[in-house]
Amino acid sequence: MASQQQDQEQEAGHRSPVDARALDEVVAFTSELIRIDTTNRGGGDCRERPAAEYAAERLADAGLTPTLLERTPGRTNVVARIEGTDPGADALLVHGHLDVVPAEAADWSVHPFSGEVRDGVVWGRGAVDMKNMDAMILSVVRNWARAGVRPRRDIVIAFTADEEASAEDGSGFLADRHAPLFEGCTEGISESGAFTFHDGRGNQLYPIAAGERGTGWLKLTARGKAGHGSKVNRANAVSRLAAAIARIGEHRWPLRITPTVRASLVELAALYGLEPDPEAPGFDVDAFLEKLGPTAALVEATVRNSANPTMLQSGYKVNVIPGEAVAYVDGRFLPGGEEEFRHTLDLLTGPDVDWEFHHREVALQAPVHSSTYAKMRAAVEEFAPEGHVVPYCMSGGTDAKQFSRLGITGYGFSPLRTPEGFDYQALFHGVDECVPVDALHFGVRVLDRFLRTA
């Protein structure tokens, strides 16, 4: 399947070793994986096994020996290893999750599990998060099998369950119970990096993730005196909880610039002719971000910790004051910022509200001057010479958190080149999620180039 992107690359002198069948397969695999409904509603309500079996069959066709692993029936993970040519080299983990967030079909213009390919675009839940990357991995591995290619270092392929919830049935289970499968892995790549970011000024940026904020999902509980709704009540649990939630929602977190974000600010300053010094006393990050315009979206969520109230639960009748009220807060903390996060929540909740972690995972940071990062940059620049590669820190998190328990340093690298007006980040968990066919072709070429040289 020839594409405009392929023609442009050939005209520029790029001779990709990716064959036409691989380009066809990445589109077909993306579409077919989308059709397998792996909606994760949380609380264990998901079944990834059909998608895991689909991936395992295609790995087996490429001569690999995939292992299917479950902590809970139906919550299936797939792991396979490709042996490299250098037995002394560290192994590389390449992972993608199989589950997706829910989608309400009535809100979509195309059915979210149709996998429809129309007007050069693949539509459906998972098109960018992240069955597209799963398909790229399968396409590259199968292309290598046809061409007789072996990478320099061992590559461990992992398709995981449960990333969209707690990861207890997925990467957490694999890291805790099946560590030998990842022997030798020191680095890993997965979602949310090397995508096109159009800055509105004619520049195309390709942010590669070299960090993640930590996850601090909180449960707040206020207790008070139950009673009749018509009576004076100075120990109203709902009022106590509401006051704490208001303080949390209005809190202005202090500036905290990590090495990854600092590197991002420096490279963006060079691109736009600005002169930031994040180390200087009184550095005004908000003024600097304002000068970046739309590009500020890449860093503005990662210069501070955050806590956003998201759920409230209390009461059972309008004229009854309940004795307890509960709320949930989506908290995120930067590398090195967890102590500040905990202390601040103690202050904001006050003496009448208790809080605990509903779910907690570590913050991550990866070096931006490593040889692996340089090779990711080079792979993108080979096929997008007009682009500007910059490091960034993810505001959320991925399975890299769980794999970090094994000493694996994680990067976000799932390459896509998309046209201006295609809001990649807005499609994560959004309505009418889709991915251009040309973007998938670009991703396969870049991923192939990186993994061959890594």
Dig out the tokens for 248 from the structure: 């949390």
Active-site position among 163, 212, 438, 448: 163
Residue 163 annotated in active site: yes
Distance, in Å, from the CA atom of 206 to the CA atom of 413, rounded to the nearest integer, reads 10
Residue 99 annotated in active site: yes
Active-site position among 99, 134, 162, 361: 99
The 3-state secondary structure of the chain, one letter per residue: CCCHHHHHHHHCCCCCCCCHHHHHHHHHHHHHHHHCCCECCCCCCCCCHHHHHHHHHHHHHCCCCCEEEECCCCCEEEEEEECCCCCCCCEEEEEEECCECCCCHHHCCCCCCCCCEECCEEECCCCCCCHHHHHHHHHHHHHHHHHCCCCCCCEEEEEECCCCCCCCCCHHHHHHHCHHHHCCEEEEEECCCCECEECCCCCEEEEEEEEECEEEEEEEEEECCCEECCCCCCCCHHHHHHHHHHHHHHCCCCCCCCHHHHHHHHHHHHHHCCCCCCCCCCCCHHHHHHHHHHHHHHCHHHCCCEEEEEEEEECCCCCEECCEEEEEEEEEECCCCHHHHHHHHHHHHCCCEEEEEEEEECCEECCCCCHHHHHHHHHHHHHCCCEEEEEEEECCCCCHHHHHHHCCEEEECCCECCCCCCCHHHHCCCCCCEEEHHHHHHHHHHHHHHHHHC
Residues annotated as catalytic (active site), given as ranges: 99, 163
